[in-house]
A and B are shown apart, each in its own frame.
Chain A
Amino acid sequence: MNRAIAAYNDLQEQQSKTVENRLLEFSNSKILIAEDSPTVRFQVARYLTLYGLMQIKFAKNGQEALDIAIAWQPDLILTDLHMPIMDGFELCSQIRANSNLKDIPILVLTGAEKQEERAAVFDAGATDLIRKPVYHLELVGRLQVHLERGQLIKRLTEYKERVALELDLGKTMQVGMLPDQVLIDKVLETYPIDMASHYQPSIGLGGDLWGIKPLDSDRLFVYVLDFSGHGVGAAINTFRFQTFYKGIHKIVGPAELMEKLNFFLKGILPIGQFATMFCAILDFEKEEMTFSSAGAPPALVKTDGTSGRFLSLDGTGFPLGLRSSGGYENSTLKFPKRSSLFLYSDALVETPDPPNSIFDYAGLADFLNGSDDPHSCVSRVVGVLNKITEGNDDALSDDVTVFCLTHLDKRIGSDQ
């Protein structure tokens, strides 16, 4: 019998020298063999070394295999089913339950087990089966498939982690373009206003932006901008905008600024990309607001005190970057004390997708009018966000920006 086995093994070894070595590129792979039979351990290891796999470790039972796997992180595990101390079923379960090991392919060496038992091994977490006695070409074929798959998953995981890191870095840079707390504090000290905002890109980076800029002791410039699309492409356009915006030394008026910005973006954006924008100059001395819109969602304004209602302003206008000349115009309205301005990007009225959106323009105004705390900008911003997400931020499929400002009787923290 032993002579017959030896002859069979010799035949297999001879064949291995005549067939193409499909495991050549996996010669650095680490293989763990869990098998209580020294004969089978020796046979399998011999085949692997014949195909150039030299990093092999052995375990005589499942517990040994698990300990080695934790310490050594093999690329693939070959295991017997029936072993002392811990069998192959339990080993599979333990490997799958370990977050550091769960993706390792496990190939189970099966002998005369019943069909039900062979099926159950997959429930335990096995990746594939190899029949004993092991035929080297089958072993090589299955190893190739599973090592390739493992390598692919590893590369994808590394790629995903790298992209996530880069997106995080990009997000930090993008958030850096938003008004920081120093600017917000300065604005709250300078003007008689309450203010709140929320900014959330849909996939790490986004095409939305909002900003405030003190013009003098009485006038504040505000804007909300939304580039078409979302993700990296739209985010890059926000950086382009920032380049333009930082170069503006004097803001004459909203329409004048948008005309310049339109010209700038028309020169660099490809066909099909554009930005919508609402911007305004709030003059707290004259108690008026001058604004212009480039196709932005209609801004909501409440100008007749606490008893008044939010109404939509006309947002009609060519989005920026669409045509050489936008033809933007300024409009002015009274913005007395206790007036409020509510700006938002389109995600607020398109979540979930129309026609099932929670808010349309009129519905959003109604919601704000019914707000429990009509004086607080924070409660308005939080209120609408909670309404559309119901606490689940994943409900948003697009970037979202919300900005609210109220003209107060006096500056926060002052007696005047």
Chain B
Amino acid sequence: MKLTTTQDRTTFHARIADRLAFSDHKPFRELLFAVTDSGAKTCVFDLSQLNSIDSSGLGMFMVAHEEGVSNGWELVLKGANEHVNALLKLGKFDEILTLQEA
């Protein structure tokens, strides 16, 4: 996972690039703590540069979703490429998570 974060007054932006997989569990947890600590009301994961994701990565999105519900921020997944988008739809994650096109 290659991670770039920025923040404005109400929104936390995290660009998650390259690949999101099993081995990214720890930095991903730290990212979620950072989002909660920022006080942002919305967290946008920019997935436009994310080439691939494994089942652990999909699970991390679910963890992020729950973290947001528990701490008062909303998660938005934005700009997923065709491959990642297909995996999100295969598991109907699009019916649980908020997806936005780029």
A binds B: yes
Number of A-B contacts (CB under 8 A): 62
Q: Which residues of chain A from 326 to 367 have a CB within 8 Å of any chain B CB?
A: 346, 350, 353-355
A315 close to B56 (CB less than 8 A)? no
B91 close to A317 (CB less than 8 A)? yes
Return the CB mask of B24-65 against A: 1 if under 8 Å, else 0: 000000000000000000000000000110111011101100
Grouping DSSP codes into helix (H, G, I), strand (E, B) and loop, the A interface class, with mixed when no group exceeds half, is: loop
Q: Which residues from chain A contact B22 at a C-beta distance below 8 Å?
A: 229-231
B58 close to A228 (CB less than 8 A)? yes
Greatest chain A CB density within 10 A among B89, B90, B95 is at B90
* Cβ-based interface call for B102 (8 A): no
* Docked complex Cα distance between A295 and B55 (Å): 11
* Docked complex Cα distance between A354 and B55 (Å): 13
A271 close to B63 (CB less than 8 A)? yes
A350 close to B52 (CB less than 8 A)? yes
Number of interface residues of B (CB under 8 A): 20
**Nearest CB of chain B from residue A193's CB, rounded to whole Å:** 28
B59 close to A295 (CB less than 8 A)? no
Chain A, interface residues (CB within 8 Å), range: 20 to 34
B62 close to A316 (CB less than 8 A)? no
Q: Which residues of chain A from 293 to 312 have a CB within 8 Å of any chain B CB?
A: 295, 297-298
Q: Which residues from chain B contact A398 at a C-beta distance below 8 Å?
A: 54
* Docked complex Cα distance between A86 and B56 (Å): 57
B51 close to A226 (CB less than 8 A)? no
A322 close to B62 (CB less than 8 A)? yes
* Cβ-based interface call for B66 (8 A): yes
**Nearest CB of chain B from residue A291's CB, rounded to whole Å:** 15
* Cβ-based interface call for A323 (8 A): yes
A353 close to B91 (CB less than 8 A)? no
A229 close to B56 (CB less than 8 A)? yes
Q: Which residues from chain A contact B62 at a C-beta distance below 8 Å?
A: 271-272, 274, 322
A229 close to B66 (CB less than 8 A)? no
**Nearest CB of chain A from residue B78's CB, rounded to whole Å:** 19
* Cβ-based interface call for A62 (8 A): no
B90 close to A228 (CB less than 8 A)? no
* Cβ-based interface call for B83 (8 A): yes
* Cβ-based interface call for A318 (8 A): yes
B56 close to A354 (CB less than 8 A)? no
**Nearest CB of chain B from residue A361's CB, rounded to whole Å:** 9
Q: Which residues of chain B from 75 to 98 have a CB within 8 Å of any chain A CB?
A: 83, 89-92, 95-96
B66 close to A226 (CB less than 8 A)? no
Chain B's closest residue to A273 (CB) is B59
* Docked complex Cα distance between A271 and B58 (Å): 11
B52 close to A355 (CB less than 8 A)? yes
* Docked complex Cα distance between A384 and B66 (Å): 38
Binding site for B on A (CB under 8 A): 226-231, 271-274, 276, 295, 297-298, 315-319, 322-323, 346, 350, 353-355, 398
Binding site for A on B (CB under 8 A): 19, 22, 51-52, 54-56, 58-60, 62-63, 66, 83, 89-92, 95-96
